């Protein structure tokens, strides 16, 4: 697995990677602190990040808005888009489909922003397979980042501190987390979330390199 560590200030950076449209995939086990890291990353304005809005067949919950929280579409429309390969990735969970539309990525790229997707490890596997099969690496710069806890014991403490899990659901979450961590070698970067600010700055440096952002300006 390729790892990038902060090693002084990046200077004279060439933006060769900018010839390809970037897609960031950000993944990690439940309870690892993805939401906190995302909030910190979005404070770095030079990254021009935009969270990708997923499509789903489930009904909107109270307060959810179409095009903001999700694109809410009926199952026939979703399946038609699947048939015509309109999705970068899709999954079926709890009797509903979820997916990332190419049109959403295009909309973000046209705004000169960088789409950021938060999907599960199994979904990332499918995306990587698709990139290889369809030579999508020629068009997109796929930046996959896995956020890991310092240890499973640390993750256990974080989940318990939420106070929302019983013994069985805690056990299930930790087992899933262990499986995800084992699969983390498929990601381009693996970041340990020991201190959120440090982890966010490490990811920031990675994105400076990947996006060709010159810090000297």
Per-residue pLDDT of the chain (217 residues), as tens digits, is: 444 333 333 333 344 445 799 999 999 999 999 999 999 999 999 999 999 999 999 999 999 999 999 999 999 999 999 999 999 999 998 899 999 999 999 999 999 999 999 998 989 999 999 999 999 999 999 999 999 999 999 999 998 988 778 889 889 989 999 999 999 999 999 999 999 999 999 999 999 999 999 876 5
Strand, coil or helix: 70:
strand
Tell me what pLDDT residue 217 has. 57
Say how far apart CA 207 and CA 39 lie, in whole Å. 15
Closest CA to 190 of 180, 112, 91: 180
Residue 25, strand partner residues: 117, 144
Tell me what pLDDT residue 4 has. 37
Tell me what pLDDT residue 165 has. 80
Residue burial 136-160, b: 16+ Cβ < 10 Å; e: rest: beeebbbbbbbbbbeeeebbbebbe
The highest-level CATH class for domain 53-112 is alpha beta
Tell me what pLDDT residue 196 has. 98
Domain boundaries, given as residue ranges, for the chain:
1-48+113-217, 53-112
Contact 137, 131 (CB under 8 A): yes
| Topology, domain 1-48+113-217 | Rossmann fold (3.40.50)
């Amino acid at each position: 697995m390729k790892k990038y560590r902060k090693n002084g200030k990046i200077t004279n950076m060439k933006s060769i990677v900018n010839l390809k449209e970037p897609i960031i995939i950000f993944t990690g086990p439940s309870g690892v602190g993805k939401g906190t890291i995302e909030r910190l990353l979005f404070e770095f304005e030079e990254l021009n990040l935009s969270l990708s809005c997923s499509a789903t067949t489930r009904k909107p919950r109270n307060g959810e808005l179409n095009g903001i929280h999700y694109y809410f579409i009926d199952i026939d429309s979703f399946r038609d888009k699947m048939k015509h390969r309109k999705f970068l990735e899709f999954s079926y969970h709890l009797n509903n489909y979820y997916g990332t539309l190419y049109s959403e990525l295009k909309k973000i790229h046209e705004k000169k922003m960088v789409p950021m997707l938060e999907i599960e490890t199994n979904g990332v596997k499918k995306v990587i397979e698709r990139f290889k099969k369809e030579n999508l690496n020629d068009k997109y710069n796929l930046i996959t980042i896995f956020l890991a806890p310092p240890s499973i014991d640390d993750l256990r403490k974080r989940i318990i501190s939420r106070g929302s899990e019983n013994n069985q659901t805690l056990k299930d979450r930790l087992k899933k987390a262990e499986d995800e961590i084992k699969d983390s070698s498929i990601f381009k970067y693996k970041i340990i979330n020991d201190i959120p600010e440090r982890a966010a700055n490490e990811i920031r440096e990675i994105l400076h390199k990947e996006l060709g952002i010159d810090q000297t300006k």
